[in-house]
Amino acid sequence: MKLRVRHTKLGKIRFTSHRDTARHWERAVRKIGVPLAYSAGFTPRPRMSFGLALPTGAESLAEYLDLELAQGYEPELDALAASFSSALPQGYEVTHVVPRPEGSVSLQEGVVACTWLVELDGVESNQLDEVVATAMARPTLMIERERKGQKSTDDVRPAIIEMSATAAGEYPRPHLCAVLATNGRGLRPIELVGALFPTLDPVEVTARVLRTHQWIDRDGERQEIIPAAPDVMRAPAECA
Amino acid sequence: MTSLWARIEPLLARVQKPARYIGCEDGAISPRHGPGRVAWLLAYPDTYEIGLPNQGLQILYEILNERDDAVAERTYAPWADLEGLMRARSVPLFSVDTHRAAGDFDLLAFNLAAELVYTNVLNMIDLAGIPVRSAQREADHPLVVLGGHCAFNPEPLADFIDFAVLGEGEEVVGEITEVVRDWKASGRTSGSREGVLRELARVPGVYVPSLYDVEYDGPVLKAVTPRYADVPAVVHKRAVADLAEWPYPKHPLASLTEVVHERLSVEVFRGCARSCRFCQAGFITRPVRERPIEQVRAMIADGVSCTGYDEVSLNSLSTADYSGIEQLTQGINVAGCDSNATISISLPSLRVDAFTVGLAAQVSDGRRSGLTFAPEAGSWRLRQVINKRITEEDLYGAVESAFSQGWHRAKLYFLAGLPTETDIDTTGIVDLAQNCVRIGRRHTNRASITVSLGGFVPKPHTPFQWFGQNSTDELRRKMQLVRNAAQRARGVNVKWHDPAATMAEGLTARGDRRLGGVMERVWRDGGVFQEWSEFFRVARWQEAMAAEGLSIDWFVHRHRGEDEVLPWDHLSAGLHKDFLWEEWRAALAEHGLDDCRWTACYDCGVCTGFGLDHIVASSVPPAGGSQGTGQDLANGGEVPVALLGRHEGSHVEEMGPTHEEVEVPA
C-alpha cells in the first residue's frame, strides 16, 4: 500500500536538517515495526521518499513524505498516524496518513509553490506594509546570492507569487506572508527578507520562519497536497 | 534555576549544525531538579558529534537520574562559532537537556578520554563562569570533577580541577552524591569548600590534588605527599566486580543529528588481559569482566526497540576475544525485535586473524565498506617487544579471508617510534602492506591497503611509561621512510598523524603539575580543540613551555629510570610497579606474555589487590585466537567454518542463563 503522510515540525527540532528528518523517520518506522516495502538490489532500502527540503531552522505545519508498506500489511490509517507521532521525536505531529492517489507525481516534482509565514524582529508594521507594496509593484527584484562558492545575481521577482504583510493574532511582531515558487532555484524565505531589507542583516531580522502550505498544480489550480483545517497561527510547541 | 533557551535560540540561526545544542534526543531524560537533589552537569570536552555516543557519560547520566537525591544533565564543547557568539553576548556554558547555566549545577564533571582536549576543559570551566583555577573558587561555585582514562594522570590539570575519580564510575558517583548532598544541606557556607573536598578524599577512588604537597629536586619530582592523615597516600581506582549488575545504558541516547557512531553500542566486556604493552586502556581497565550472553542479547533487543537503530556495535577492547562471541553472533537475529528489517553487527576492534574476519563477514549485512586491523608494528620481533603477537600468517590469513569474502580494501594501523624500533621494522610496515595487496589482487583488482601511521606516545601505568618518546624529527623521518617505500608499492596508501601533535600529546600524558601553567597559556592563546588540525599549532606549546621555563626534551623525550618518582605513582590502577618494570625489561628482551584469562596468573596486582576475578561468559577460550590465548587454531588462510559448525548443534543447550566464572589461580 502506497501512503502519503503530512506532518508538522515545530519547536527545537527545527534546528535539525532535512537529512536528519529522514533519519528520524527511518528510526521511527523501525521502532514501531511498521513493515515497509524495500527496493530491489544488493543493498535494499526501505521505500520512503521525502518532499522538498525544509531549511534548517525553519518550522513547518505542512511537511510531506511518501512511503510504501510491505505487501499484505493494511493498517488502520489514523492509528498509524498516532503511532508515527509517538515514535518520532517531540516536535513532530503526524496529522494525516492517506492512500497516495493513483498516478500522482512525486512530491519533489509535484510541488510548485510553498506558503511561508516569516516573523520579523526590528521592523515596524507600517514599514513592512510599504516595503511589500513597493516590491510587488516592481517588475524585477535583483539579489546577489552564492551557491557552492559561485556568486550570481538573480531576478527573484518572478518567484514571488503572492506577498502580504499580515497581522498575526497574539504575536506582537509583524509577519510577512509569502507564496514562493519552487521551480528552478526558487527563493528561500531568508533570501526574500534580504531582498526586501537590503540594509539589514536578514538573520537578525528573521525571528521565525514557518512553512504553512505546500501547493501542487491541478489543472491550472493551486491545491494543497493534503488539505488541513486552517490553524496557521497555532503557537509552535517547544519540546521541553 | 532558569532556562537560557530564549537567549540561546537566536544564536543558533548563525552557527553550523545547530542541532548539536538542542538536546531532545531519544533516550534523553527529563531532569527533575529540586533542593534535595545534587545536580551533576556531565561534560564531554569535545564536540557533540564525538561526545554524544560516549558510553561512560550515558551510563552515569542514567544511573544518576535514577537516584532520588541526584539529577544529571549533559553538555559538550560548543564549536568555535557558537563560543564566539556566547562570549560576545555573555551566554554561559549551558546544558543541552534544559539549557540551564553550568554555574547552576553542583558538579561540573568532565569525561576525559584523550590528552589533547585538556585545554577544552579550561575553556569550558571559563565559559561556565567559574574561575579556572580551583584555588580561586568559592563555596557557591560548582565542584569541577574529572573522570575517564586521563584521570590516571590528571596532574597537568591538577590546578584546575577540584577532584578526579579513578576508574569506573557506576558506584562511586552515588558515594560522591551523598557527600555533596550533605554539603548542600549544610548550606554550603563560606569557607566550606575545603571541608567538602576533605570529605570527598575519603571516598575510595577520589583524588583531591589540592590536598597533596609536591616536592621537586631541580627538574626531578621528589615526592607527592598528602597534607593530612585522613587523606590517602595512594588513591586506588574503582572497578565494578560484575558487569552483569550494571546493564547500562538501558535507554541509549540516539542523536537527532549525525554523530560519529550512528548505531547502538552494547558493551560486551570491560578490561583486557592481552597485555599489549603500549596500550594504556588494556592495563588500567583490568580485570576482564564479560557480560553474560543473555544480558547482551536483551540489551540489544531493548536498545534496538527504543532507538530504531539497525546496526549494533559490540564494544570492548577486543570483541573477538569475548568468550561467548560465537553463541552471541549466531543468536543475534533472533534477538532483534523487528522481523522485518535485519540488524547488522559491527565489531569495532577486530583481532587480526581469519577467524575474526569470518565472524565479521557472518554478522555484517552485506555491505563491505572496509575492514581495519591493528598489527601496530612492522616486524615479528617488534611485535614481541610490544606483546602484540600477531604472526604474518595471522595477518595474511585475515586479509585473504577478507578479500575472498567481498571486501576490497582494508586499513592497517601501525605505530611509529615504538621502543627498540629500527628502520628495518619501520620499512617492514610497507612490506606487510604490499604482501596484503598481493593477496587481495588474487581476488579483486581493486584490492588496496591503507596504512594509517601514528606516532607512539608512552602512557602512564603501562610497561612503556619509562620510555623516552621519539622526537618529532625522528617520527617525521620514520613516516617519510614509510611514505617513500609506499610510493613504489602498488595499491598501498599511507595516512599519518602530525608528529608535532604527538609531541603535545606526550607532554600532557606524562606531565606533572608544572604543566598547569603551560595548559593555561596554550588555552589563553586560543589553543582549544587541539586534536583538530585546523586548531593545532605546535609553536603555542613550545612558547608556553619556554615561558614556564620547562624543557620539552625532559618531559617528553627522556628515558626514565627505575627509581624515579613518576607523577602518577600516588595513583593506582592496581598494577604493581615492579610488574610493570619487569614487563618493560621483558619487552627490551623481546619476550612475550600470554593472555592470563587462559593461562597462569602472573600477578600484575589487579585481581589480588581488588579481590576481583576475571569473569568470562563461557568457560572455553574463543576459537581462532593464536595470539596468546593458549590456542593455535585456524592459524592461516581459511575461515574455520568447520569450527563454527562444530559448536553449532550444542550451543543452545550449553548456554545457561547465568555466566560461569573461571577461577584465576593466585
- B417 pLDDT above the threshold of 70: yes
A–B: how many Cβ contacts below 8 A?
80
Percent of chain B past pLDDT 90, that is, above it, reads 76
Residue A234 has pLDDT above 60, yes or no: no
Mean pLDDT of B394-400: 91
Residues A35 and A69 in one domain: yes
pLDDT tens per residue, range B593-630: 888 877 778 889 898 888 888 888 776 666 655 454 44
Query: In this structure, is residue A9 part of a structural domain?
Result: yes
| One domain, residues B272 and B214 | no
Do residue A83 and residue A48 come from a single domain?
yes
- How far is A102 from B68, CA to CA, in rounded Å? 56
Tell me if A159 is assigned to some domain: yes
Residue A238: pLDDT above 70?
Answer: no
Q: Do residue B19 and residue A203 have CB atoms under 8 angstroms apart?
A: no
Give A207's contacts in chain B (Cβ within 8 Å).
Answer: 10
B289 and B332 fall within a common domain? yes
Question: Which residue(s) pair with A69 in the sheet?
Answer: A36
| Whether residue B41 sits in one domain with residue B84 | yes
Cβ distance of A33 and B12 shorter than 8 Å: no
pLDDT band at residue A78 using 50, 70 and 90 as cut-offs: very high
Q: Left if phi > 0, otherwise alpha if psi is -120 to 50, otherwise beta: which for B60?
A: alpha
User: B406 — contact with chain A (CB < 8 Å)?
Assistant: no
Let me know if residue B133 belongs to a domain.
yes
**Residues A112-144: pLDDT tens digits?**
999 999 999 989 888 999 999 999 999 999 999
Which residues are bridge partners to A209 per DSSP? A118
In whole angstroms, what is the distance from residue A189 CA to residue A119 CA? 11
Per-residue pLDDT, B629: 47
- Residue B536 included in any domain: no
Residue B323 — very low, low, confident or very high, per pLDDT cuts 50/70/90? confident
Same domain, yes or no, for B447 and B505? Answer: yes
* pLDDT attached to residue A214: 96
User: Which CATH number fits the domain that encloses residue A52?
Assistant: 3.30.70.580
Structure letter (DSSP) for residue B637: S
Asked if the Cβ–Cβ distance from B258 to A20 is below 8 Å, we say yes
Q: Do residues B431 and B487 lie in contact, with contact meaning Cβ atoms separated by under 8 Å?
A: no
Instruction: Check residue B27 and give its pLDDT.
Output: 94
CB contact under 8 A, A89 and B305: no
Burial of B88 per CB tally in 10 Å (0-12, 13-18, 19+): exposed
Find the CATH number of the domain harbouring B207: 3.40.50.280
Which residues in chain A have Cβ-Cβ distances shorter than 8 Å to B85? none
ipTM value for the complex: 0.91
Same domain, A162 and A124: yes
**Same domain assignment for residues B227 and B347:** no
pLDDT of residue B299: 96
Please check whether residues B55 and B153 belong to one and the same domain: yes
Domain count, chain B: 2
Q: Using the predicted structure, report yes or no on whether residue B193 has a pLDDT greater than 60.
A: yes
Please check whether residue B531 lies inside any domain of the structure. no
In a domain, B664, yes or no: no
Could you tell me if A138 and A153 lie in one domain?
yes
- Beta-carbon contacts of B542 under 8 Å, excluding residues fewer than 6 positions away, are B552
> Hey, are the CB atoms on A36 and B340 less than 8 Å from each other?
yes
Q: Please give the C-alpha separations between residue B378 and each of A131, A178, B326, B473, B632, in angstroms, as whole numbers.
A: 71, 65, 30, 20, 22
Looking at the complex, report in whole angstroms how far the Cα of residue B348 sits from the nearest Cα belonging to chain A: 21
Of A20, A33, A239, the CB nearest to B338: A33
Closest chain A CA to residue B13: A57
What does each C-alpha distance from B278 to A176, B166, B382, B383, B462 come to in angstroms?
Answer: 63, 20, 12, 11, 7
Residues A217 and A120 in one domain: yes
Residues B222 and B284 in one domain: no
In a domain, B91, yes or no: yes
As a whole number, the mean pLDDT across chain B is: 89
Instruction: State the Cα–Cα distance between residues B518 and B544, nearest whole angstrom.
Output: 5
Q: Tell whether B41 and B147 lie within a shared domain.
A: yes
- Grid coordinates representing B450 are 591503507
Spell out which residues of chain A touch residue B338, defining contact as CB-CB under 8 Å.
30, 33
Is any Cβ of chain B less than 8 angstroms from the Cβ of A224?
A: no
Write the DSSP string, B96-141: TTT-BBGGGSSEEEEE---GGGHHHHHHHHHHTT--SSGGG--TTS
Q: Smallest Cβ distance to A57: which of B13, B21, B338?
A: B13
pLDDT above 60 (res B338): no
Please state the three-class secondary structure of B515-573 as a single string. HHHHHHHHHHCCCCCCCCCCCCCHHHHHHHHHHCCCCHHHHHHCCCCCCCCCCCCCEEC
Report chain A's mean pLDDT, rounded to a whole number: 90
* Straight-line distance from the first to the last Cα atom of chain B, in angstroms, rounded to the nearest whole number: 53
Give contacts of A72 with chain B, Cβ < 8 Å: none
Domain count, chain A: 2
The mean pLDDT value for B538-558 works out to 98
**With 50 as the cut, is the pLDDT of residue A233 above it?**
no
Mutate to test the interface with A, among B15, B17, B24 (most CBs of A within 10 A): B24
Of B18, B24, B367, the CB nearest to A90: B24
What is the pLDDT, as a whole number, of residue A80? Answer: 97
**pLDDT for the residue B554:** 97
Rounded mean pLDDT, B258-273: 93
Q: Is residue A240 part of a domain?
A: no
Q: Are residues A94 and A125 in the same domain?
A: no
Residues A4-33, mean pLDDT to the nearest whole number = 96
- A235, part of any domain: no
The three cell numbers locating residue B180: 555533596
Instruction: Pick the residue from chain A with its C-alpha nearest to B23.
Output: A12
Chain B residues in contact with A236 by the CB 8 A cut-off are none
CA angle A170, A176, A181 (to 5 degrees): 135
pLDDT tens-place string over residues B91-128: 999 999 999 999 999 999 999 999 999 999 999 999 99
Contact state of B366 with A57 under an 8 Å Cβ cutoff:
no
Q: Could B309 and A30 be called an inter-chain contact, meaning their C-beta atoms sit closer than 8 Å?
A: yes
Q: Specify the range with the lowest mean pLDDT, choosing from A76-80, A108-112, B539-543, B591-595.
A: B591-595
Same domain, A101 and A113: no
B333 located within any domain: yes
More confident residue, B368 or B334: B368
Percent of chain B with pLDDT over 70: 90
**Residues A115 and A93 grouped into a single domain:** no
Q: Check whether residue A74 and residue A96 sit in a common domain.
A: yes
**Per the structure block, which three cell numbers stand in for A119?**
516573523
DSSP codes joined into one string, B166-225:
-B--TTHHHHHHHHHHHHHHTT--TT-HHHHHHHHHTSTTEE-GGGEEEEEETTEEEEEE
Which of B177, B181, B241 lies closest to B206 in space, CA to CA? B177
Residues 158-217 of A with CB under 8 A from B: 203, 206-207
**Residue with the larger pLDDT of the pair A185 and B267:** B267
CA distance B456 to chain A (A): 38
A196-207 pLDDT per residue, tens: 999 999 999 999
Q: Which range marks the domain in which residue B165 is found? A: 5-236
The pLDDT score that the predictor gives to residue B367 is 64
For residue A185, give its domain range: 109-224
Nearest-CA neighbor of B14 among A66, A203, A73? A203
pLDDT band of A170, cuts 50, 70, 90 = low
Nearest by CB to B256, from A87, A89, A206: name it.
A89
Q: Report the pLDDT value the prediction gives residue B622, as an integer from 0 to 100.
A: 64
- Tell me the mean pLDDT in the region B448-471: 97
- Judging contacts by C-beta atoms under 8 Å, the chain A residues touching residue B254 are 27
Placement of cell 534523553 in the chain? B28
Residues A210, A117, single domain; the answer is yes
- The answer as to whether A171 is a domain residue is yes
Lowest mean pLDDT among B90-99, B341-350, B588-597: B341-350
Residue A203 to residue B14, Cβ atoms within 8 A: yes
Predicted pLDDT at B564: 97
The pTM of this model reads 0.92
Neighbours of A14 (CB within 10 A): 25
> Is residue B404 predicted with pLDDT exceeding 50?
yes
Average pLDDT over residues B67-92: 98
Residue A86's pLDDT band (cuts 50, 70, 90)? very high
Tell me what pLDDT residue A148 has.
Answer: 84
The verdict on whether omega for the bond into residue B249 sits within 30 degrees of 0, i.e. cis, is yes
pLDDT at B355: 77
pLDDT digits (tens, 9 = 90+) for B116-165: 999 999 999 999 999 999 999 999 999 999 999 999 999 999 999 999 99
Which range is least confidently modeled, A177-191, B517-531, B581-595, B649-663?
B649-663
- State the pLDDT at residue B291: 96
Query: Which DSSP helix (H) or strand (E) runs through B450?
Result: strand B448-455
Residues 6 or more apart whose CB falls under 8 angstroms from that of B448 comprise B408, B409, B437, B440, B491, B492, B493
Domain boundary among A80, A108, A136: A108
DSSP H helix total and E strand total for chain B = 24, 19
> Do A100 and A188 share a domain, yes or no?
no
Say yes or no for a CB contact (<8 Å) between B22 and A16: yes
A chain contacts of residue B10, beta-carbon cutoff 8 Å? 207
pLDDT band at B656 (very low <50, low <70, confident <90, very high): very low
Is A233 among the domain residues?
no
Residue of B21, B307, B339 lying closest to A27 (CB–CB):
B307
A42 in contact with chain B, both atoms CB, cutoff 8 A? yes
Q: State the Cα–Cα distance between residues A33 and B172, nearest whole angstrom.
A: 39
- Judge whether A238 lies within some domain: no
Q: Domain with B633 in it: what CATH number?
A: 3.80.30.20
Q: For residues B337 and B346, give the distance between their C-alpha atoms in angstroms, rounded to a whole number.
A: 18
> What is the predicted pLDDT for the residue at B653?
29
The answer on pLDDT for B657 being more than 80 is: no
- Chain A closest CA to B352's CA: distance in Å? 27
Cell of B473: 624529527
B541 in a structural domain: no
Is the domain of A98 the same as that of A28?
A: yes
